[in-house]
Structure 1
Amino acid sequence: MTLDLVNYEQKAQVAVKSFWGARKAAIDRQAAAGNADQGERSGVTAGKNMDAFLDLILDVIKANGLAHADIHQSKATLSLPGFFRPTKLWDLLILHKGQLIAAIELKSQVGPSFGNNFNNRTEEALGTALDLWTAYREGAFGEQPRPFVGWLMMVEDAPESNSPVRDRSPHFSIFPEFQGASYLRRYDLLCQKLMKEQLYTTATVLSTPRSAVDSGEYADLSSMTGLKTFVTSLAGHIAAESARLS
């Protein structure tokens, strides 16, 4: 079976340009209106900065056998039942013949508050995965194979995200891989551990500088958490589910 990777590298560059362009446009609009939020919040509150990555993901799904699947992107249709809470909103849901094929979260972080935001993103990712897989175990989605559950994170490549970080743990030692690790390295470790613990089918982190608004530049942090791993894993899952449900 040959997988179609839909020229994902070029499309990712377009998505990165769109991400930074959307942030800049939102900040400019709010500044012109005289009600800009403090700091980076103007770009965050714009909302749909990662939409071009959804376009890339949808191309992968359609090219590998499920162009006719039920694709949900509007807020009203993005809820899944949880176990510890009634529902959870996702960024993209793919259903076919009444079965959940894929659920995907897209996140981003731009400086300067990398510390607090990293902790928040970690807690969100863990809680979301635990809630979904417990609901799955308890039959919330009926009798079906495990869906693809994806987490894709884009982080600003900046001095603050690349600098070593010191932590204090007065009672017990932290794990050695975290000692002096930058926030970008911590995101890479987070994604690797999320996959090793089978909390996500694939967890990916990309770094990108602000100058990428013109170039679309981005970088993987490791092969395990790189974009190619995300795309090939998703394409393989979609092709397998297409064959199974045909």
Structure 2
Amino acid sequence: MALNLANYKGQARDAIKAFWGNREAARVKQIESGNIDAGTRGSVTAGKNLDGFVAMIKSLVEANGLGHAKIYQNKGFVVLPGYFRPTKQWDLLVMNGDRLVAAIECKSQVGSFGNNFNNRAEEAIGTAHCLWTAYREGAFGGQTKPFLGWLMVVEDAAKSRASVRNDEPHFKVFPEFDGASYLRRYDLLCQRLVKEQLYTATALIASPRTAVKSGKYCELSELSSLESFVTSFAGHIATEAAKKI
């Protein structure tokens, strides 16, 4: 049976519109209330800016035969055991009975690229390593491997595309990082998270602030494309749906 990709491109454009629209609405609301967070924090602390992508993921689950699965995204219901720490809260879990089908992180970065890239990278690597080690040690029973996904929306701007200098006081960085922009760094991160089997699939979506009406976005490479993410996820869901459990 062919996979159903649930018009993911159209859903992604709608998700981008909602992402930028929700951020702006949160900023305006805080200004009007006189409670202004530092920098762009007012746009971030409104939360749920990536719910459009969560809706896309839900539609892929339903379209590929697992409509009865439980999809959790509320705090308290997205907690999984870890190995190096007791628990970790994910952004979204898909459960088929007592089986973990998928755990997905949906993140974003707008501005402050230099301050946040390393934090995002360390968080993504540590989160996946902790879960897979817990899986190896039997934290999820004897089930087959779940799908682990990492979806990242980054502002497409002059600063995220500009060449970045590296400090190299003792040793040279790998040549692919030499002068690489923050978007290029995110692309390399996404590719390597998959190549090193830390995540089943990743997606890097670059979008300008002006996309609030158009939903415009772009991808940087095949391995970190939304198409690869969606296809891999739909295939995993269809496989789970076909099992007689």
Q: Which residue of 1 aligns with 2:42?
A: 42
Alpha-carbon separation, structure 2, partners of 1:76 and 1:105:
15
1:97 positional shift: 2.7
Alpha-carbon separation, structure 1, partners of 2:104 and 2:27:
27
Q: Which residue of 2 aligns with 1:84?
A: 84
1:70 positional shift: 1.7
Q: Which residue of 2 aligns with 1:200?
A: 199
1:38 positional shift: 1.4
**Alignment deviations for residues 174-219 of structure 1 (CA, whole Å, 9 cap, x no partner):** 0010000000000000000000000000011100000000110000
Alpha-carbon separation, structure 2, partners of 1:138 and 1:165:
40
1:170-189 equivalences under 5 Å are: 170-189=169-188
Q: Which residue of 1 aligns with 2:157?
A: 158
1:76 positional shift: 1.7
Structure 1: 5+ residue stretches without partners: none
1:239 aligns with 2:220: no
**Alignment deviations for residues 2-32 of structure 1 (CA, whole Å, 9 cap, x no partner):** 0000110011000000000000000000000
TM-score, L = length of structure 2: 0.99
Secondary structure of the corresponding residue to residue 190 of structure 2: helix
1:170 positional shift: 1.1
Q: Which residue of 1 aligns with 2:13?
A: 13
Secondary structure of the corresponding residue to residue 222 of structure 2: coil
Q: Specify the code of the residue in structure 2 equivalent to 1:195.
A: V
Q: Specify the code of the residue in structure 2 equivalent to 1:70.
A: K
> When the two structures are aligned, how many residues end up with a matched partner?
245
1:21-36 equivalences under 5 Å are: 21-36=21-36
CA RMSD after TM alignment: 0.8
Q: Which residue of 2 aligns with 1:68?
A: 68
**Alignment deviations for residues 144-195 of structure 1 (CA, whole Å, 9 cap, x no partner):** 1110000000000001000000001211110010000000000000000000
Secondary structure of the corresponding residue to residue 220 of structure 1: coil
Q: Specify the code of the residue in structure 2 equivalent to 1:66.
A: L
Secondary structure of the corresponding residue to residue 219 of structure 1: coil
Q: Which residue of 1 aligns with 2:59?
A: 59
Secondary structure of the corresponding residue to residue 102 of structure 1: strand
Q: Specify the code of the residue in structure 1 equivalent to 2:42.
A: S
TM-score, L = length of structure 1: 0.98
Q: Which residue of 2 aligns with 1:191?
A: 190
Alpha-carbon separation, structure 1, partners of 2:70 and 2:110:
32
Structure 2: 5+ residue stretches without partners: none
Secondary structure of the corresponding residue to residue 80 of structure 2: strand
Q: Which residue of 1 aligns with 2:125?
A: 126
Secondary structure of the corresponding residue to residue 217 of structure 1: coil
Structure 1 runs of 4+ with >6 Å offset: none
Q: Specify the code of the residue in structure 2 equivalent to 1:174.
A: V
Q: Specify the code of the residue in structure 1 equivalent to 2:217.
A: Y
**Alignment deviations for residues 111-163 of structure 1 (CA, whole Å, 9 cap, x no partner):** 1x101210100010011001100000000000011100000000000010000
1:223 positional shift: 1.1
Q: Specify the code of the residue in structure 1 equivalent to 2:227.
A: K
Alpha-carbon separation, structure 2, partners of 1:192 and 1:245:
33
